[in-house]
């Protein structure tokens, strides 16, 4: 505990104050080794004059009152006071200002403070995010932070290196580098404060938020001139999570009971059973129906307890009020996992939530793990375990984890249409038990999964999510799409930074910090999943564009820089070789423009690619087929293989192809060339491969 902090907190609690005064907060920061302005609290004019003399002119006067949150708004800050006369008149003025603006404000005194020389102002803040806990924010002061929201976030603990990244990440970071005659800022001094704030938040759960606004930053050093600590109200209990090892039966069971199986083909209870049978599930299937009999040629049992052999998992499709007793029976039978499709729980309000808690308690006692309730099931196309509706038949290497059922089906549908496929798809629904973090950890170890795509609307415990992403990212990319906003902590609004906590920005910063890749929308998530499922990770970010369309070439160059890629510079010897191989009208730069003549002479693509792939300055390739170029896939077939041997990711954009376009795209994708409808989408997808390379390097300490 930093010296003085516990006393200040105790005193604030006694006085029912939700925050520390500026002078208290700054005292704590000084003890923590940070530089603040010299300060003395005065109770009357004479004390103020004495204090000013002790500190040395010029000085600043500030109001100290529990009711005044924003001092300058209440006329409670007077700057640059140069002598004792100024202190006397200022003292009276400040009291009058505050009394007229906030008549009820109790005045605890006036803070006399050293005046820090004018300079660039930055803001460093911290808040407890509802999902990720202590999170630190950085921005350049004034309108940049408030209006433009040009800020960066990291989840604590923060290393010096991460703090430096935060500073470099904001758009206004150029101001700190000293543009237009501004002094170059002491970046080290800022990162020291960021790291310290992160430590304070971690070490002191009593602090809900910290606002250092502003910090004045100089060529040599930084001074905190205003500080606010907001105190935490009470702590939320954290839900316990059993080990991930017990999850396997949920996705790859050897036997399954379908509880609520129905003879009526219109009912979900029938469709799911039929899908499991139709998808060729290799294990045992037991329909459960109170009427017994036979469904789809299988003997139906009245209860799981009547099944003679072992049952590893259950799919539950019965009315909500029956779910607790069904789960209780499952635990008695020794069932290891259940996917609860039924809705009518937390999704419908407090009574439903109570029912959800009932079955969860039973499941915990009986070591049974649950996916759902209120979910659209799970699908493992490799072993034909398709406990969902409908079936998407496309075995591949992308695993999908989605809070939404439709998205859990849309991504496999998209992949199937693009000649790619999926390994597992899990719809999470209410997440009573199993959540994204559990499944990411499980799929990190899954030999059939090489890419993990996640759609989530947020998590209770973001730190578990970060840990899981960190673990998985070192061996496979984790792509994350966040939907919706989460609510900021109520009290966090007492501090400036708090208003930004719980936001999508924090979520994305946390995912990135853990090595994951955030995508902006469903289209980007699908595009990235498709790209990672087929292509190698490149060694660099130098892109070569081969095109027959000048326009698409220009659009590609435009998209390149924005996506963080560079246009490759082709070597002299490559140019020489291209000159020999291609007709004179080709434009031998990057984009390499084969011109509209490629329409009648498509073999130019083959000749160009053959040479380019061997250039060491090229890390990835985009091939643009503009116009209806026939049999494109046959023409470049060998070069696609060659690019793969050279570990150069190659994608295509096929445009203006009229009536043959669809068939051409299909042909290319069948041969492992991901095709995108626009150059921009192609380049954005490629940039994710490069970003992943950077993330892995960073995770490994590079």
Interface positions with Mg ion (CB under 5 A):
213, 226
113: contact with ligand ADP by CB under 6 A: yes
CB of 174 to ligand ADP, least distance (A): 21
Nearest to 699 by CA among 527, 505, 466, 524: 466
Q: What is the DSSP letter of 246?
A: G
Which residues on neighbouring strands pair with residue 61, listed in sequence order? 78, 112
Residue 25 as a binder of ligand ADP (CB under 6 A): the answer is no
CB closer to ligand ADP out of 37 and 430: 37
Q: Is 65 in the site for ligand ADP (CB under 6 A)?
A: no
Q: How far is CA 235 from CA 19, 75, 133, 205, 208, in A?
A: 17, 35, 11, 9, 10
For the bound state, the minimum distance from the C-beta of residue 68 to Mg ion, rounded and expressed in Å, comes to 12
The answer to whether residue 155 forms part of the interface with ligand ADP (CB under 6 A) is no
**Residues ≥6 apart with Cβ < 8 Å to 127:** 134, 135, 137, 208, 209, 210, 488, 489, 492, 495, 497, 498, 500, 501
Query: Least distance in Å: CB of 78 to ligand ADP?
Result: 9
Q: Max alpha carbon distance in the chain (Å)? A: 99
- Least distance to Mg ion, CB of residue 116, Å: 13
Question: Which of 162, 208, 226, 433 forms a contact with ligand ADP (CB under 6 A)?
Answer: 226
Least spacing, CB of residue 126 vs Mg ion, in Å: 15
- CB under 6 A: which stretch of 66-74, 472-480, 564-572, 602-610 binds ligand ADP? 66-74
Instruction: Rank residues 214 and 324 by Cβ distance to ligand ADP and give the closer one.
Output: 214
193 within 8 A of 221, measured Cβ to Cβ:
no
By CB under 6 A, residue 115 contacts ligand ADP: yes
Is residue 604 packed enough to be buried (19+ CB in 10 Å), middle (13-18) or exposed (0-12)?
buried
Least Cβ distance, residue 70 to Mg ion (angstroms): 7
Q: Identify which of residues 79 and 268 has a Cβ nearer to ligand ADP in the complex.
A: 79
In the complex, residue closest to Mg ion by CB? 226
Shortest Cβ 115–ligand ADP spacing (Å): 5
Q: What is the smallest separation between the CB atom of 211 and ligand ADP, expressed in angstroms?
A: 8
Which listed range, 114-122, 472-480, 538-546, 587-595, lies at the site for ligand ADP (CB under 6 A)?
114-122
SS3 at position 160? helix
Residue 216 pairs in a beta bridge with: 121, 223
Closer of 121 and 524 to ligand ADP (Cβ): 121
Residue span binding ligand ADP (CB under 6 A) among the ranges 111-119, 262-270, 377-385, 542-550: 111-119
Residues in region 176-215 near ligand ADP by CB under 6 A: 214
Residues in the chain: 702
Task: Count CB neighbours of 209 within 10 A.
Answer: 29
Radius of gyration of the chain (CA): 31
Piece in contact with ligand ADP (CB under 6 A), picked from 107-115, 485-493, 546-554, 677-685: 107-115
Quote the least distance from Cβ 195 to ligand ADP, whole Å. Answer: 22
94 is an interface residue for ligand ADP by CB under 6 A: no
Which string of b and e fits 661-689 if b means at least 16 CB within 10 Å?
A: beebbebbbeebbbbbeebbbbbbbbbbb
Residue the block writes with tokens 């430096």: 164
From 69-77, 310-318, 391-399, 455-463, span contacting ligand ADP (CB under 6 A): 69-77
Cis preceding-peptide flag for 132 (omega within 30 of 0): no
Of 480, 258, 280, nearest in space to 377 by CA: 258
Counting residues that bind ligand ADP (by CB under 6 A) gives 16
Residues 6+ apart with CB under 8 A from 467: 437, 514
Helix (H) or strand (E) holding 39: strand 39-42
d(C-alpha 488, C-alpha 230), whole Å: 14
Using the minimum distance from each CB to ligand ADP, give the nearer residue, 113 or 639. Answer: 113
- At 67, is the secondary structure helix, strand, or coil? coil
**Could you say whether residue 79 binds ligand ADP (CB under 6 A)?**
yes
SS3 track for 576-634: HHHHHHCCCCCEECCCEECCHHHHCCCHHHHHHHHHHCCCCCCCEEEEEEECCCCCHHH
Site for ligand ADP (CB under 6 A): which residue of 28, 49, 116, 300? Answer: 116
Shortest gap between Cβ of 216 and ligand ADP (angstroms)?
6
Interface stretch with ligand ADP, choices 112-120, 174-182, 301-309, 615-623 (CB under 6 A): 112-120
Q: Using CB under 6 A, which of the segments 109-117, 194-202, 292-300, 450-458 binds ligand ADP?
A: 109-117
CA 455/CA 436 separation, integer angstroms:
9
Q: Which does 60 bind (CB under 5 to 8 A by kind): Mg ion, ligand ADP, none?
A: ligand ADP
115 binds, among ligand ADP, Mg ion, none (CB under 5 to 8 A by kind): ligand ADP
Structure tokens at 17: 């104050």
Distance between CA atoms of residues 16 and 10, nearest Å: 10
Least distance from C-beta 495 to Mg ion, angstroms? 11
Mode of pairing for the β-strands spanning 422-427 and 451-456: unpaired
- In whole angstroms, how close is the CB of 158 to Mg ion at the nearest point? 22
Q: Among 68-76, 286-294, 513-521, 650-658, which window interacts with ligand ADP (CB under 6 A)?
A: 68-76
Structure tokens at 453: 């795509």
Q: Binding of ligand ADP at residue 97 (CB under 6 A)?
A: no
Give the helix/strand (H/E) hosting 378: strand 377-380
Give yes or no for residue 70 binding ligand ADP (CB under 6 A). yes
Does position 71 interact with ligand ADP (CB under 6 A)? The reply is yes
Q: Which of residues 33-52 bind ligand ADP (CB under 6 A)?
A: 37
**Which DSSP symbol is given to 70?**
S
**Partner that binds at residue 244, options ligand ADP, Mg ion, none, CB closer than 5 to 8 Å by kind:** none
Q: Rounded to an integer, what distance in angstroms lies between the CA atom of residue 455 and that of residue 426?
A: 10
Q: Which is nearer to ligand ADP, 219 or 445 (CB)?
A: 219
Handedness of CA 344, 348, 350, 351 (dihedral sign): negative
CB-nearer residue toward Mg ion: 213 or 441: 213
Q: Which is nearer to ligand ADP, 225 or 327 (CB)?
A: 225
CB of 86 to Mg ion, least distance (A): 21
**Interface residue list for ligand ADP (CB under 6 A):** 37, 60, 62, 70-72, 77, 79, 113-116, 121, 214, 225-226
């Amino acid at each position: 505990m930093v010296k003085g902090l516990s006393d200040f907190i105790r005193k604030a609690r006694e006085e029912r104050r939700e925050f520390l005064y500026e002078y208290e907060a700054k005292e704590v920061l000084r003890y923590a080794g940070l530089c603040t302005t010299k300060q003395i609290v005065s109770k009357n004019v004479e004390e103020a004059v004495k204090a000013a003399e002790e500190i040395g002119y010029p000085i600043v006067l500030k109001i100290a009152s529990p009711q005044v949150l924003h001092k300058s708004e209440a006329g409670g800050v007077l700057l640059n006071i140069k002598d004792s006369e100024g202190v006397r008149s200022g003292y009276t003025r400040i009291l009058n200002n505050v009394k007229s603006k906030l008549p009820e404000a109790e005045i605890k005194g006036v803070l006399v403070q050293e005046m820090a020389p004018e300079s660039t102002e930055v803001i460093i803040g911290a808040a407890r995010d509802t999902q990720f806990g202590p999170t630190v924010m950085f921005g350049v002061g004034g309108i940049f932070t408030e209006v433009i929201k040009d800020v960066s976030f990291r989840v604590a603990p923060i290393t010096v290196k991460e703090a430096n990244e935060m500073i470099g990440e904001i758009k206004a970071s150029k101001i700190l580098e000293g543009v237009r005659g501004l002094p170059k800022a002491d970046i080290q001094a800022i990162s020291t404060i960021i790291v310290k704030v992160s430590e304070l938040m971690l070490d002191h759960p009593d602090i809900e938020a910290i606002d250092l606004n502003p910090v004045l930053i100089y060529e040599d050093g930084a001074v905190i001139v205003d500080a606010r600590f907001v105190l935490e109200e009470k702590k939320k209990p954290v839900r316990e999570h059993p080990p991930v090892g017990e999850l396997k039966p949920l996705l790859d069971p050897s036997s399954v009971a379908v509880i609520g199986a129905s003879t009526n083909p219109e009912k979900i209870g029938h469709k799911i059973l039929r899908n499991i049978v139709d998808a060729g599930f290799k294990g045992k299937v037991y329909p459960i129906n109170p009427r017994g009999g036979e469904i789809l040629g299988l003997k139906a049992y009245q209860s799981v307890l009547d099944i003679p052999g072992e049952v590893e998992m259950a799919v539950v499709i019965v009315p909500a009020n029956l779910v607790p007793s069904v789960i209780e029976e499952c635990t008695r039978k020794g069932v290891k996992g259940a996917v609860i499709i039924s809705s009518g729980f937390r999704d419908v309000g407090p009574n439903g939530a109570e029912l959800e808690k009932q079955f969860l308690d039973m499941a915990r006692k009986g070591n049974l793990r649950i996916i759902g309730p209120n979910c659209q099931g799970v699908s493992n196309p490799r072993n034909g375990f398709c406990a969902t509706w409908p079936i998407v038949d496309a075995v591949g290497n992308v695993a999908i984890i989605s809070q939404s059922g439709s998205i859990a089906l849309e991504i496999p549908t998209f992949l199937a249409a693009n000649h790619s496929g999926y390994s597992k798809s899990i719809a999470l629904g209410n997440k009573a038990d199993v959540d994204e973090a559990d499944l990411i950890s499980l799929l990190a170890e899954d030999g059939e999964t090489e890419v993990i795509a996640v759609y989530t609307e947020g998590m209770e415990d973001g730190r578990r999510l970060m840990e899981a992403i960190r673990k998985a990212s070192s061996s496979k990319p984790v792509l994350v799409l966040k939907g919706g906003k989460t609510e900021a902590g109520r009290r966090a609004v007492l501090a400036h930074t708090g208003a930004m906590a719980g936001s999508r920005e924090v979520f994305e910063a946390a995912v990135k910090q853990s090595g994951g890749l955030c995508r902006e929308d469903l289209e980007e998530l699908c595009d990235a999943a498709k790209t990672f499922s087929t292509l190698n990770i490149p060694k660099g970010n130098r892109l070569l564009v081969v095109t027959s369309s000048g326009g698409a070439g220009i659009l590609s160059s435009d998209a390149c820089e924005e996506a963080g890629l560079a246009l490759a510079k082709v070597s002299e010897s490559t140019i020489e070789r291209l000159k020999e191989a291609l007709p004179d009208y080709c434009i031998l730069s990057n984009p390499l423009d084969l011109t509209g003549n490629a329409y009648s002479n498509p073999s130019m693509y083959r000749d160009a690619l053959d040479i380019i792939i061997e250039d060491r300055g090229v890390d990835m390739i985009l091939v643009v087929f503009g116009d209806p170029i026939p049999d494109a896939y046959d023409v470049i077939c060998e070069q696609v293989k060659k690019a793969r041997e050279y570990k150069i990711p190659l994608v295509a954009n096929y445009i203006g192809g009229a009536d043959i376009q669809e068939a051409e795209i299909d042909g290319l994708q069948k041969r492992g060339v991901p095709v995108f409808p626009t150059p921009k989408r192609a380049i954005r997808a490629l940039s994710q491969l490069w970003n992943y390379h950077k993330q892995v390097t960073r995770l490994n300490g590079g």
